[in-house]
Structure 1
Amino acid sequence: MSDEAPTPPPARSRLRRAGGVPAQLATALRTPARTAQPLFAQAPKAWQRLLPHAVVGIFVVTLLPVTITVLTDDYGAAGGWAGALGVAQTVPLLLALTRPLPAWLLVLGADVLGALLLTRADEVGGHAWPWPPMTLIGYLVLMACLGLRTSVRTLVGVWLATGAVSLVLALFRPAGTTDTSALLFVLSGTVLALTGALRGLGDARQRIAEQEVISEAERSRRTLLEERARIARELHDVVAHHMSVITVQADSAPYRIAGMPEPVRQEFAAIAASARESLGEMRRLLTVLRGDGTNGGGGEGTALAPQPGIGRLQQLVEATVRAGQPVELSLAAGAVGVAPPAVDLSAYRIVQEALANVVRHAPGATTRVAVTADEDEVLVLVVNGPARDAVVEVESSGTGHGLVGMRERVRLTGGTLDTGPLPDGGFRVAARLPLGDGAGAGPTGPVVPDAAKDTNEEGS
């Protein structure tokens, strides 16, 4: 089973597949990520991305000659001024596809200038003012582009500015003209509301799709963790079976084999004791994995036996020596019984993991273990020399989980850890575990039960 959770599909792809045509429309209406992107830049199909350019282009090509013709024929404006106003009021619509706010400022300025110039036109009476019909159409197209691109606050500001400009222009209204100020104010507000709602729909559907992707990733991660826990439980069942067989065989060997020397009897007894201890630790770990007990698995099920500490280092070293690894232990008299439970347990586990690494990667190497304590801290030092030339490593490579486990335990107590190779080919593990008030509560909170932390870390 791969350790990596499956990568969820992108939010945009999920949105397209989930909702059909409405979903594609929502994706097309999605606000572009960058200001310079054209309108509908995130549409899934090419024709949808080209559609705004075609629509605005048709309006510009149509409104430009119509504006010039209406201004000259109906309003009696001069040909030069009519041409200039026609270009200024229509061509900036092309800019609205990428930068609608600057386009709005240009069009609004041109429309205001045109309204002021029309006050002196020869035939303005009897016609619409200050916004002629072609000006209304162009302005509404601009409002549609704005509504699909900008925020609600900006849309409200644009609408209010349009009303304010219309109100000021009404003060200069020529006699006999039809006032279109209120008409533009109402129509522009309607277009802004509709297009803003469409854009909001696209944003909402996009956020929903992104949230679905996040939820799917969390579900994948939770499934992966549950699968790992299941494998761990199955591994416990398999290993526990074999360990039970070893225990039974070691206990019954003196009765099955006659005339067994006393040293051999003691060796079988030690094997049986080690197997039973391993079974006990695996059962406590399994209790946490299955969620038994209270407080997240830290109830009575995890306290069936006392946790090991510095006082049991002698037994740990003796077991390692019996396995063929030469180890010397220097245990200060004041180091036993002075440390709080978290520090006591962390010191034992650090030495245990360090010795396990020596057995794996430097079998037969001379190893020294020293544990000292004073009023402030406990110092743990494990140093081993290079492996004997004639001995092959039990494991040629490691995962690094052993050193990671040491660092986690040291961090949990607020101490420091120093590990690294020695010039002669050996390795050093040095840990400083404080005995102050911070011991037992690291940066992330109080100490969790050992059964929850000790996952039988692999060697470095």
Structure 2
Amino acid sequence: MTSAEEKPPRALLAGASRRWVRLLPWGVAFVLCVALLPTTIQVLTADYGLNGAVASALAVAQSAPLLLAVVRPLQAWCVIFAADVAGALALLTVDFEERLLWPFPPMGIVGYIGLCLALGLRESRRTLVLVWLATAGANVGLGFVSPHGTSAESVLLTILGGVALLLAGALRERYEAQRRLAEQETISEAERGRRTLLEERARIARELHDVVAHHMSVITVQADTAEYRLDGLPPHVREEFTSIAATARESLVEMRRLLGVLRNEEAHGELAPQPGLTRIGQLVEATARAGMPVEFTPCDADVPEAVGLSAYRIVQEALANVVRHAPGAPTQVSVSESASQDGARLTVLVVNGPPPEPPAAPLEEGGTGHGLVGMRERVRLVGGTLDAGPLPDGGFRVAARIPLNGKDST
């Protein structure tokens, strides 16, 4: 039984996407085994004059492990290499013609080349070099006892085996390089998405800081001026207002420190008042002046500043996406307040149709990905939901539902 830490060996090319590629090593090994086993017996007995039992044993030892090579090529090499050397020594006991190959007959060379291909696809460079050195060493050692003298044909296995190891090793390393590159691209894409999300959250936090800071400033002013605006306050009540004002001022200082962490040198316009529902009409008018047919249904509801800011940014980003990806498309923008069992909610709807004609080229090359990410983050932070996606006619729809009572109304 294998331990929990050990993984069963995978077959060669098991990670291929196509089924026929995964089955290819098994098919090649099976064909070689079926073809070489009887051929080896026939050649060793008929041509070389080797005993039938010995020839059969050598044929099985040299051919059957080719099936094992699909899963464990190094172990299969150990068996076949020993069988090839044993076969060369066994041939020294018989008198065969000089024209016949020795120390390794043609069938052994064919099987060994297939084995080297399997080794190259699985093992490291160091292992492949050691395998080739062992092959060359066996060739050289057997050359000293050659019955007919040394010849160029006697080193055929060393040459062909080395070529097979080199080619298969190069293919394996190329595949590994491509796999690592694909993994790195996947990691980079995930990191880009994570960075985009963090940048958008930081930008939203900077904007929400101004909203919260405004409320804290109002609290501070009201607490500081309470004793002048209200007559006859008891001393302990005045002390309470003074404590409230001091606490609010400390909170403002801490928030400014937090904002200093969130701000960066590239952020501009941070001191400008944050837009809300009343500014959406100006945004739509500016888009219409740029040549976009936009219809706007306004809403004059009194909503929290954070909700108004989120609604404005959602409309702003949605209109920007229409300009980028569907210039000239008719667009409808509506902001409405509705009531339900869970309370009131604000609905922001931006729907555009297909563009009159496909743009010749995109207005932007490779967007930053902030659009939908930013909209979803804004809606999530105020407890709402966002529904965005293409329409059957080729248009696009963005619908945000933001609760006005602090919880999702969906």
Letter in 2 for 1:89: Q
1:156 aligned residue (129, 147, 150):
129
* Aligned CA-pair RMSD: 2.5
> Counterparts in 2 of 1:201-240, with a 5 A limit?
201-240=174-213
1:273 aligned residue (227, 246, 249):
246
Counterpart residue number, 1:58: 31
Structure 2 unaligned segments of length 5 or more: list them: 1-5, 266-410
Answer yes or no: is 1:181 the counterpart of 2:172: no
Count of aligned pairs? 260
Q: Distance in 1 between matches of 2:150 and 2:239?
A: 117
Structure 1 unaligned segments of length 5 or more: list them: 1-32, 293-460
Counterpart residue number, 1:315: none
Q: Distance in 1 between matches of 2:237 and 2:116?
A: 95
Answer yes or no: is 1:143 the counterpart of 2:128: no
Percent identical residues: 58
Q: Distance in 2 between matches of 1:146 and 1:226?
A: 49
1:204-256 CA distance string (max 9 Å, x none): 22222333333334334433433443333233211111112222333444454
Q: Distance in 1 between matches of 2:100 and 2:20?
A: 40
Q: Distance in 2 between matches of 1:163 and 1:85?
A: 21
2:60 aligned residue (80, 87, 94):
87
Counterpart residue number, 2:87: 114
Counterpart residue number, 1:169: 142
> Counterparts in 2 of 1:237-386, with a 5 A limit?
237-257=210-230, 264-291=237-264
Answer yes or no: is 1:134 the counterpart of 2:110: no
CA contact (8 A) 2:143 2:150 kept: no
Q: CA deviation at 1:123?
A: 2.9
Q: Distance in 2 between matches of 1:122 and 1:268?
A: 116
The TM-score with structure 2 as length reference comes to: 0.58
Letter in 1 for 2:44: L
1:401-431 CA distance string (max 9 Å, x none): xxxxxxxxxxxxxxxxxxxxxxxxxxxxxxx
Counterpart residue number, 2:361: none
Q: Distance in 1 between matches of 2:75 and 2:224?
A: 90
1:319-358 CA distance string (max 9 Å, x none): xxxxxxxxxxxxxxxxxxxxxxxxxxxxxxxxxxxxxxxx
CA contact (8 A) 2:120 2:172 kept: yes
Q: CA deviation at 1:74?
A: 2.1
Letter in 1 for 2:206: R
Answer yes or no: is 1:199 the counterpart of 2:199: no
1:20-46 CA distance string (max 9 Å, x none): xxxxxxxxxxxxx94632212222233
Q: Distance in 2 between matches of 1:280 and 1:208?
A: 48
Q: Distance in 1 between matches of 2:233 and 2:152?
A: 119
Say if 1:68 and 1:276 are closer, same or farther in 2 by CA, change over 3 A: same
Q: CA deviation at 1:272?
A: 3.0
CA contact (8 A) 1:140 1:187 kept: yes
Q: CA deviation at 1:266?
A: 4.8
Answer yes or no: is 1:49 the counterpart of 2:22: yes
Q: CA deviation at 1:267?
A: 4.3
Letter in 2 for 1:198: L
Q: Distance in 2 between matches of 1:265 and 1:105?
A: 94
The TM-score with structure 1 as length reference comes to: 0.52
Q: Distance in 2 between matches of 1:62 and 1:186?
A: 23
Q: Distance in 2 between matches of 1:259 and 1:99?
A: 94
> Counterparts in 2 of 1:386-425, with a 5 A limit?
none
Q: CA deviation at 1:53?
A: 0.7
Local SS of the residue matching 1:180: helix
Q: Distance in 2 between matches of 1:204 and 1:108?
A: 31
CA contact (8 A) 2:143 2:149 kept: no
Counterpart residue number, 2:70: 97
Q: Distance in 2 between matches of 1:264 and 1:77?
A: 116
Q: Distance in 2 between matches of 1:94 and 1:121?
A: 30
Letter in 2 for 1:49: R
CA contact (8 A) 1:126 1:178 kept: no
Letter in 1 for 2:64: V
Letter in 2 for 1:95: L
Higher relative contact order (CA 8 A, sep 6+): 1
Say if 1:234 and 1:89 are closer, same or farther in 2 by CA, change over 3 A: same
Q: Distance in 1 between matches of 2:102 and 2:147?
A: 8
Letter in 2 for 1:152: R
Local SS of the residue matching 2:136: helix
CA contact (8 A) 1:131 1:180 kept: no
Say if 1:252 and 1:160 are closer, same or farther in 2 by CA, change over 3 A: same
Say if 1:176 and 1:154 are closer, same or farther in 2 by CA, change over 3 A: closer
